[in-house]
Amino acid sequence: MVFLASHGYRSIAHDRRGHGRSSQPWTGNDMDTYADDLAAVMDALDVKQAMMVGHSTGGGEVAHYIGRHGSARVSKVVLVGAVPPIMASTAQWPSGLDIAVFDGIRKGVADNRSGFYLDLAIPFFGMNRPGVVINEGWRQSFWAQGMMGSVLGQYACIREFSEVDYTEDLKKIDVPTLVIHGDDDQIVPIGHAGALTAKIVANATLKIYPGGAHGLADTAREQLNADLLAFARAA
């Protein structure tokens, strides 16, 4: 955001309800409400011609926002390591991850959230690959951001990023779309995410980062910044 703002673009972010510095309500921890919350921000700030950038679960949020509210305020979409169309295996998408994977995440969040986030940061940034040095700053930042949120909200969000099918939302995206995904993403595997999304969304371009992990905003910061700026500037 600092990079894009330094190039003259207004950069706006919100913390999803139950996450970060947002409030921690008992209700509304679902993708319908996440999308409506995003719409409230867009409307309150009277945002126009936005390039919406969604990472991971945020990609589902962007897709569902357009699915529910349309693209009148949107000019472009960027999905980075995003979860659509769906992460879990279903009858329609049988090559997804087994639900047991997400049950394990639920158990980790419920039983020992602090330890779970410390451990999750390692594959998130690809720091378990040969020759990759552990970046303790990234790991601690990841942990701190996770621990700021509501355990209830984060627990509920697991269903939203794993079991919600965003296929119909993707079909409604009617603006130029850039799909960015690392081919070594251990959190959201590209084959059942970015690669499929780029086929479903009309006028989508898939850009694969060779060896890219999930946390591309850190691990591939310069490349991602350059790609976002180029896409923002493109006619």
Active site residues: 56, 185, 214
* HEC secondary structure over 189-223: CHHHCHHHHHHHCCCEEEEEECCCCCCHHHHCHHH
User: What is the token pair recorded at 201?
Assistant: 């969304």
Contact 191, 183 (CB under 8 A): no
Sequence-ordered strand ranges (E) for the chain: 50-55, 74-80, 177-182, 204-209
Give yes or no for a contact between 200 and 67, defined as CB atoms under 8 angstroms apart. Answer: no
Q: Cα–Cα distance between 226 and 83 in angstroms, integer?
A: 23
